[in-house]
Structure 1
Amino acid sequence: MQKLLFSIAIFLVHFFGVAQPNIILIESDDQSNVAVGAYRFGNIKTPNIDKIAESGVYFTNAYNMGCWSPAVCIPSRTMLFNGTFLWNASKITKKNVPGPSLTERLKTAGYETYVTGKWHALGKSPKATFDNYGTILPGQLKTYNSKDGHYTDIVGKESVAFIKMAAKRKKPFFLYTAFNAPHVPRQTEQKYYDMYPPKEVILPPSVKAGPLHPNIKYNYTSAPLNPKTMKNRYQQNNAMVTHMDDRIGDIISALKNNGLYENSIIVFMSDHGISFGENGVAGKVCLYDISAKAPLIIMGPGMPQNKKKKERIYLQDIYPTILELVGIDIPEYIEFNSLVPQIEDNTIVSPYSSIYLAMFNDQRAIVKDNYKLILYPQAKAAELYNLKLDPWETKNIITDKTKTPTLKKMGAAMLQWQKNTGDTLNLKYIYPNYFK
């Protein structure tokens, strides 16, 4: 029945323009899957984000493709709004864009657009692409506390104010609410810190005392890695997330109070995750799942409810997904894939036979058939993990000779991705045993 309702909703939008839904895209910064209650880890409190998951579909294996900058959010958000893969996105400037951004396409389709919060993407400025805007914040705040209040509260209040204004009009709207939270500096009210006493913080099993990862360039701590320090960071991070979740609750309430909730698509996502000691890393410039993956949750008219999807996809697939949901043709140059088939039908597999990940020229990874191969070309090092048996990536099985066929298969997939994405790094020369 849910599949039928969803199909009908899309059909009506596509062919009759009936009840074109509003779109609310809420994005956080540096938030891993473990920092969402619906993803079932630890004691994080996110009741409002969880409500979105319970009312829709949530993807547990949504990846950010990688970065060319230590500020990983820039590549992630540039890919999100422009729809192109990593290396094509890296070439984008204000004057060199592949085509209209997500915002501009929605404007052309009759949507009123509004942005508040963080903007950290290449291409045109938000003031040049959105109809309306609130407080535009930089990628890195010096402090969350301003003369007008905490920036998490400001972004939440501005979102609510826009919803109230939009409710008085008959025009559909696109609201982009971009929280800086839980990115550093992790400043919030004491009541939120008090919810997470460090002694009660649960660390993933991949957090261990000892040396930092030798092949990760950007680590935001000094060696040796201290689990006690990481517990404090988890406490601060969780506090920031719960504060943000309260403001998300205000946004949901505003939609309901103004009669807009039933005809709104709500997306919650983050730009990428972050490591707090997992795998010897304290940062986000790495390709372990804790950092490479982030939450992606979507609900809307006719969609299935409380559906957990394990397909491996990309976070930026949400761009073409939104276009299809509201009946806008997806242009050919968009390289990411719509997730509508996966949302509509549980039997549809991921549009990707493998997941390609890359950071600068010092990290590459491929995920295929529940295995992940991570390469560190500058160090000529490699790691192989069985993600089904070892989801926290704690046991490197690269020396297991029985995995040679697996490595060959993954090497072939990597070469194909390099060809498709314009990745010129010569991995065959560095790793002759993995590549034909």
Structure 2
Amino acid sequence: MKKTYFLLLIGALFLGACSSESKKVKVKKPNVLFIAVDDLNNMIGPIDNFSNIKTPNFDRLAKMGVTFTNAHVQAPLCGPSRASIMTGLRPSTTGIYGMTPDNEIRREGNPATKDITFLPEYFQQNGYHTMGIGKLFHIHAPKNVFQESGGRVKGFGPYPKERFVWNGFGKGIKGKHGRTSTDWGAFPENDTLMPDHQSVNWVKERLQKSYEKPFFMGLGFLRVHVPLYVPQKWFDLYPLDKIETPPYKSDDLNDIPNIGLQINDLPMMPSTEWAKESGEWKKIVQAYLACVSYVDYELGRVLDALESSKHADNTIIVLWSDHGYRLGEKGTFAKHALWETATKAPLLFAGPNLPKGKKITAPVEMLSVYPTLLELSGLPAYKRNEGKSLVTMMQKDEGLQDAYALTTFAMNNHAIKKDGYRYIRYEDGTEEFYDHSKDPNEWYNEASNPKYKSKLATLKAFLPKENSKWDEKSNYTFQPYFVNQKKRINGAEKQPLEVIGADR
């Protein structure tokens, strides 16, 4: 009898142990919902709340997690910015300073990226089912990066038969400056005609499914990228007489180094002076705000679908943008600069084990998205990542004092944001320096002010030690300075720096 009881007891303990182990095996790692919004600056409600902008779903996401109000991109241009996020490497490491075909980012010809593991691939290699739709890399994604791909609608339409306001060239010279899709107005008739609406439908359908593995799902919105077209109802949210315009100083560029002027020479884009004289400035801002509210609506559809799904309690959300966007600041309507309004963009995280409704004002980098997602998901760190995880900053406020952000625009042009200061150094050694406590609009270049000599020296230490040549497959023909620099650097290196379009 005793022997029988003993055997039963051992059996029960063994079964219990097996059951316990079985439960451990069944515990799934968190899913990841990876949301990119094109050309979204910090005007949204949780950050700047510009001109009483209406973004209830950005507000909702912010309440669900952590908002970084001072996040900066690694390049103020979509192609190199997205390549940096997806590779975990800086542009100065890869030489990807311009637009690079998705399938050419990783190749034998680039020693930095020839064997890199893209962010979605790392999740797949660690047991995740990966899916993606829309603009995630520069176009959509390299071939076979996602196990399940919804692709991407070509361009940034839909487009009307004729442009409403802007012809795309402005005062630019055809063949030299390129043509932009910049335009603004109410179009099309309803939301269902927008490619982003179809992308969200695709995501909603997949959120309703069950998966044997945890999933990584990427969603890339095309708006707020120009043309600033969305249905009329989004414009109706912003009466023109209530619209604010960003701060602007007509002689703002008088103290900018020559290379900074070359980079900012964008005659194909509307100038602020033209927008003022033509009466279009408020209309451009109105159109931008309308597009943000449209994206907010589509974001709400995603959040609703997630919250009503079986994945609601076990999904990490990250929302980011590839750069900021100037709406008249520094004389134009564009990204394309190393100034604050071009480099700063929203970054929000939500999910299990993260604080709710928290805001962090320390400067951080979009380069941190890759390592942060790995740590939040319980995956091993990827040793090639050059960014730092933000998990302990979000959970324990660690690293706030040491935080900084580095942005690069073409080879050897960099900006450092730290401690409320912005330091810019161009390839010829010329500099800009701004004290945001006194000059939040960056109107007064203090680089030659002896008062800031020690601070400049401190910030210089954060400049990258490596500045790779242009990747052969990376180009930016939209702007003459970049064409000239690549030719000069990768071709005849002793060729003197040519001044192109430096007129103010």
What is the TM-score when the length of structure 2 is the normalising length?
Answer: 0.72
Q: 1:357·1:366 contact (CA, 8 Å) conserved in 2?
A: yes
Higher strand share: 1
Question: Aligned-pair distance for 1:256?
Answer: 1.6
The 8 Å contact of residues 355 and 367 in structure 1, kept in 2 or not, is answered as yes
Match of residue 406, structure 2, among 349, 356, 362? 356
CA distance in 2, matches of 1:105, 1:324: 12
2:67 to 58, 73, 98: 58
Tell me what 1:232 maps to: 283
Percent identity, aligned pairs only? 28
Q: Which residue of 2 aligns with 1:89?
A: 94
Q: 2:69 touches 2:346 (CA, 8 Å); kept in 1?
A: yes
Once residues 46 and 112 of structure 1 are traced to their aligned partners in structure 2, the CA distance between those partners, rounded to angstroms, is 31
Asked whether 1:264 is paired with 2:309, we answer no
Give me the TM-score of the superposition, normalised by structure 1: 0.83
Taking the aligned partners of 2:355 and 2:325, their CA distance within structure 1 comes to 29
Question: Counterparts of 1:298-317 in structure 2 under 5 Å?
Answer: 298-317=349-368
Report the 3-state secondary structure (helix = DSSP H, G, I; strand = E; otherwise coil) of the residue aligned with 2:297.
helix
For structure 1, the residue ranges without an aligned partner over 5 or more in a row are 1-14, 431-436
Match of 2:177 in 1: none
Aligned residue number for residue 326 of structure 2: 275
Q: What is the correspondence of 1:182-201 to structure 2 with a 5 Å cutoff?
A: 182-201=224-243
User: Residues 51, 234 of structure 1: CA spacing in aligned structure 2 closer, same or farther, 3 A cutoff?
Assistant: same
- Secondary structure at the counterpart of residue 133 of structure 1: strand
Q: Which amino acid aligns with 2:245?
A: L
* CA displacement 1:187-228 (0-9 Å, x = unmatched): 1110001111222112222x2457878441335114734344
Q: Indicate if the aligned counterparts of 2:92 and 2:468 stay in contact, CA closer than 8 A.
A: yes
State how 1:131-142 maps to structure 2 within 5 Å: 131-138=147-154, 140-141=156-157
**In 1, Cα distance between equivalents of 2:143 and 2:376:** 26
1:151 alignment counterpart: 195
User: Hey, what's the Cα distance between the residues in 2 that align with 1:298 and 1:323?
Assistant: 13
> What's the CA shift string for 1:346-393, capped at 9, x where partnerless?
2432664x4332212484322333221224456x75322102232221
Task: For 1:336-347, list aligned pairs within 5 A.
Answer: 336-347=387-398
Aligned partner of 1:26 in structure 2 is: 35
Q: Residue 109 of structure 1: CA displacement?
A: 1.8
Bigger CA radius of gyration: 2
Q: Pick one of 251, 257, 262 that aligns with 2:302.
A: 251
2:391 matches 1:374: no
Identify which range, 144-153 or 293-302, moves more after superposition.
Answer: 144-153
* 1:44-66 C-alpha deviation (Å, 9 max, x unpaired): 11111111111100101111122
- Matches of 2:424 and 2:158, distance apart in 1: 34
CA drift of 1:300 comes to 0.3
Q: Which residue of 1 aligns with 2:49?
A: 40
2:133 aligned with 1:109: no
Q: Note closer, same or farther for the CA distance 1:239–1:388 as it changes in structure 2 (3 Å cut).
A: same
Change (3 A) 1:270 1:36: farther
Quick one: distance in 2 between partners of 1:277 and 1:362? Answer: 26
Q: Which runs of 5+ in 2 are unaligned?
A: 1-23, 97-103, 160-186, 255-260, 471-488, 498-504
Tell me the C-alpha RMSD between the 2 structures: 3.0
Aligned residues: 401
- Residue 74 and residue 198 in structure 1: after superposition, are their counterparts in 2 closer, same or farther (change >3 A)? same
Cα separation, 2, equivalents of 1:376 and 1:139: 32
The residue type paired with residue 370 of structure 1 is: G
Q: Contact 1:49–1:268 at 8 Å: present in 2 too? A: no
8 Å contact from structure 1 (residues 59, 296) kept in 2: yes
Q: Write the distance in 2 (CA, Å) between the matches of 1:312 and 1:423.
A: 27
Measure, in 1, the Cα distance between the counterparts of 2:307 and 2:272: 49
CA distance in 2, matches of 1:421, 1:318: 22
Letter in 1 for 2:66: V
TM-aligned CA distance change 1:145 to 1:258, over 3 Å: same
